[in-house]
Structure 1
Amino acid sequence: MPATKKIAVIGDVMLDCYWIGSTHRISPESPVPVVNIKTIEKKLGGAANVALNIQTLDQTVSLVGLIGDDDAGRDLKDLCQSAGIIDALITDSQHATINKLRVISRQQHVVRCDFEENYPDTPSKSTVDLCKKEIESADVIVLSDYGKGFLQPVSELIAHARAHGKKVIIDPKGDDFTKYRGSTLLTPNLSEFEKIAGTCHSDEELFEKAQTMRETLDLEALLITRSEKGMTLFEKDKEPITFSAQARDVFDVTGAGDTVIALIATFLAKDHSLPEACRIANLGASIVVGKMGASTVSYDELNRAMREASRAHHRILTKEELLEEIKIAHDRQEKIVMTNGCFDIIHKGHVSYLEAARRLGDRLIVALNSDASVKRIKGPERPIMDEESRASVLASLSSVDWVVLFDEDTPESLINELLPDILVKGSDYEVSDIKGAEAVLNNGGEVKLIDFIDGYSTTKAINKIKQLS
């Protein structure tokens, strides 16, 4: 077995605290909400969150940063120990640990309170020597600069790392990027880049300025994260590569940059190419923005995202993929609704019916008869639209979360396996006649009947087309 590669994270560490509670009234003292705190959470923040993201993927990682001789510093060390991060933190009684407190109610930030002082002093020789020692013992170096002062000797650290043949990845801050000259990869977001290079009014201008920066700073590569436009990688003597943003519900962008740099470092340490590491990091960022606060991404989440990205349509699933999605949804306390049908030539009645079904829960599954199934039920001239077309149209509807095909005449066996919380059929059915209803009811679920809009049917549409032809 080859020796496990190590990553060293060096930078500004901080403790992220979350006070979470309910809000029901406005303070009589001033027009601000009163939050009744129910839960207090403490998490690794800044460079420490980068290290946590790396360790979550079972990658050996050490963390170098400055903390105070205080409760927040001790909390930080305890969290590192619990996570399995190699602790190379430096305790300085002259400085307080940086602590960011967020008060949250109803999944919204009410206020953030920062307890911090930048480090005005140049780090001591012993501190720089410790950083160099960690650099020498690692294979990939991450410098996580939050502009708090610990990375004042960043140029010296880059030179030391490059002299020892180490890859150096930097998440930059500030209005002077010349101090990062010679690093392997720089990962500014668009606003950080434009602060240095100037506003870009087109992709062409962005690409030109990015290549100029990469050459001027003697970087092997420059990665610009561009929010809804994804991220673009610029390498020497290669065409730029843009990784499109993955469509996700954005809940909190805190720590997304940490996840990007952590995943790139992790997969470079696992001998992936830089473009492949960036592609994975792009998927990871799309996952972490759906979580509250600075969070991590697991291998299971990454593998799931990669499977989704490789599908022709991420909402059209196999039964096995759907079972996995249902488990994840139930873990989130989401209610699963399911219905079924042929849905051949989708019309207004179908759309209205599916919208009504979706309103009954959080996720809607549509079980779709395959072409063979439709032929047996409707006759040899049906379906008009093949199963791929029908599934694609259904999956494009905002009311539909997942589509799954079945070959049997009825979806009973599929329903028995999936066991949705609510099974939906048209009001022309009796509950006792609905396939799968018994299994759903026995599992504690419900069966609901929904009215169709009068005057709309596939048969009528087909007959009208025949009359006109």
Structure 2
Amino acid sequence: MEGINPRFDRAQVLVVGDLMLDRYWYGNTGRISPEAPVPVVKVGQLEDRVGGAGNVALNIASLGAGATLVGVVGRDEAAQSITERLHSAGIRTELKESADKPTITKLRVISRQQQLLRLDFEETFSAADVDQLAEQTRSLLPGVSVLILSDYAKGVLQDPQTFIAAARKAGILVLVDPKGADFSRYRGASLLTPNLNEFEAVVGVCNDEQTLVDRGLALLSELDLEALLITRGEQGMTLLRLDQSPLHLPARAREVFDVTGAGDTVIAVLGAALAAGETLDNSVALANLAAGIVVGKLGTATISGPELRRAVLRDQGSERGVVNEQQLLVDIADARARGEKLVFTNGCFDILHAGHVGYLEQARKLGDRLIVAVNADESVSRLKGPGRPINPTERRMAVLAGLESVDWVLPFTDDTPERLLSLIQPDILVKGGDYAREQVVGWEIVEAYGGEVKALDFLDDCSTTAIVEKIQGDEF
């Protein structure tokens, strides 16, 4: 997943489909009811979450992308709860109210992190309830690059062809989370995202990989689809396209706690990434990573942009250690979002000695994250003269990255760190040695934006130059 960093802030996605309210009642159980052999739950906490197509839109907005939602609700308190939560997340809504049907609501009773009971309040919406949605959607298409159809078979997408045809005519990608055993309803869409059970309900049980691939490719051709993404639970995901080899991604979940809404997260991340300009392969990889995170949460949940970026960085091995400037900027944006204080220092670190280690440990204690910028070889040669550095850049960075006190190490080719300081804007600039504030390179830059400058003494009076001279025999 190297180099994947979508500009979600530039993405606009339109979601049409069945939305619902997921309502949770939490409480303790300590006895069995005398009226029937069932546990008694003393409810102590109530929580409402937006589900269905609304959860897709929330996932998109949580990533930092723009989301617009079209759907149907009732004229009731549940609809008000949904609308408030969508608007608070910055989602534009075009919701039609049904005069005689309630907002779809699913009530779950949970105790000790276990779901005991689910109650559904719903009636399928009629043609009269959805008669204006196609025209609403058509008017919103010019402002988006991806249309997502989230079908839960509750009546909003009675005729998906109307939406698919309008979007494809406008040159907009159409992603569908399908429902039911008749996928011909989605003919001409760009991509379908069935889970394995939904896929096998259409094509039959697939006892091996080749059967799954063959039947998937046949379905692609039959329905004039560009791609098919089959989500397979603990077996990961499989992306199928005509004239291309299958792409299989293993499951990324560390712990599966609740699969509720995982499909919403998959299609939301996929759509937002495509709208941000990512390739289909990269977008699927991001969706797979996001699904692995969201199933570790209880109930209908979303994944934020920083969460997903941190997961990508972990996957790239750049959450800590040696990074490039682009990776570091993503890292520090997430660190700042968590309220962490950034400490910055720089140097040649040609031969790492006890003095370096001690002062880096002191520097790390001044904040939450320590960034070490290392002069590249050409810069060291200019500063220290012929024969230096002793160790090339890659080795010096590898040694520094191995220190517990150091979070990120990156190289720079300039003679001074001033460009990096302007770019990164650390909270504290630290320099090792007997320096006055005005002698620390870049102090004006840091103090101009409100940062601090500190000088720390090297421990044990160590010096790289002295070590080099001793090795060369100057002190023998």
Q: Contact (CA 8 Å) 1:263, 1:281: kept in 2 or not?
A: yes
Question: What is the aligned counterpart of 2:296 among 290, 294, 316?
Answer: 290
- 1:234 pairs, out of 237, 240, 244, with 240
Q: State whether structure 2 residue 117 is matched by structure 1 residue 111.
A: yes
One-letter amino acid of the counterpart of residue 11, structure 1: G
Among candidates 142, 146, 169, match of residue 148 of structure 2: 142
The Cα offsets for residues 391-446 of structure 1, whole Å up to 9 and x where unpaired, read as xxxxxxxxxxxxx9966xxx9x79xxxxxxxxxxxxxxxxxxxxxxxxxxxxxxxx
1:178-189 equivalences in 2 (<5 Å): 178-189=184-195
1:337-374 Cα offsets, whole Å, 9 max, x none, are: xxxxxxxxxxxxxxxxxxxxxxxxxxxxxxxxxxxxxx
User: Among residues 157, 165, 171, which one is paired with 1:151 in the alignment?
Assistant: 157
How has the CA–CA distance of structure 1 residues 156 and 200 changed in structure 2, closer, same or farther, with 3 Å as cutoff?
same
The answer to whether the 8 A contact 1:122-1:152 is kept is no
| Aligned residue among 263, 266, 277 for 2:283 | 277
Name the residue aligned to 2:35: 29
Partner residue, 1:397: none
Shift of residue 304, structure 1, vs aligned partner: 2.0
What residue in structure 2 maps to residue 38 of structure 1? Answer: 44
How does 1:34-433 map onto structure 2 within 5 Å? 34-121=40-127, 123-311=129-317
- The question of whether the paired residues in 1 share the 8 Å contact of 2:274 and 2:280 is answered with yes
Aligned to 1:14, what secondary structure does the other structure show?
A: strand
- Distance (whole Å) between structure 2 residues aligned to residue 105 and residue 308 of structure 1: 33
Question: Is there any run of 5+ residues in structure 1 with no aligned partner, and where?
Answer: 332-403, 415-469
5+ residue gaps, structure 2: 1-6, 324-330, 339-399, 407-476
AA in 2 matched with 1:150: V
In structure 1, distance between residues paired with 2:33 and 2:80? 34
Q: Contact 2:177–2:193 at 8 Å: present in 1 too?
A: yes
AA aligned to 1:63 is: L
Return the offset for 1:303: 1.9
SS at match of 1:65: strand
CA distance in 1, matches of 2:242, 2:81: 43
Q: For residues 28 and 3 of structure 1, what CA distance do their matches in structure 2 show? A: 56
Is the Cα contact below 8 Å between 2:13 and 2:144 reproduced in 1?
yes
- State the Cα RMSD in Å: 2.7
Equivalences, count: 329
**Which whole-Å CA distance do the structure 2 matches of 1:32 and 1:93 have between them?**
37
| Counterpart contact for 2:8–2:273, Cα < 8 Å | no
| 1:26 Cα deviation from its structure 2 partner | 1.0
SS in 1 for 2:115: strand
Asked if the contact 1:103–1:110 (Cα under 8 Å) also holds between the matched residues in 2, the reply is yes
Higher relative contact order (CA 8 A, sep 6+): 2
Asked if 2 retains the 8 angstrom alpha-carbon contact of 1:123 and 1:152, the reply is: no
TM-score (norm 2): 0.65
How far apart are the structure 2 equivalents of 1:286 and 1:125?
Answer: 37
Equivalent position amino acid for 1:22 in 2: N
Which residue matches 2:368?
none
Give the secondary structure class of the aligned counterpart of 2:23. Answer: strand
TM (norm. structure 1) is 0.66
Which amino acid in the other structure matches residue 192 of structure 1? E
Amino acid at match of 1:169: L
1:124 Cα deviation after fit: 4.9
Q: For 1:122 and 1:175, how far apart are their aligned partners in 2?
A: 24
Higher mean displacement: 168-177 or 133-142:
133-142
Deviates more, 1:78-87 or 1:190-199: 78-87
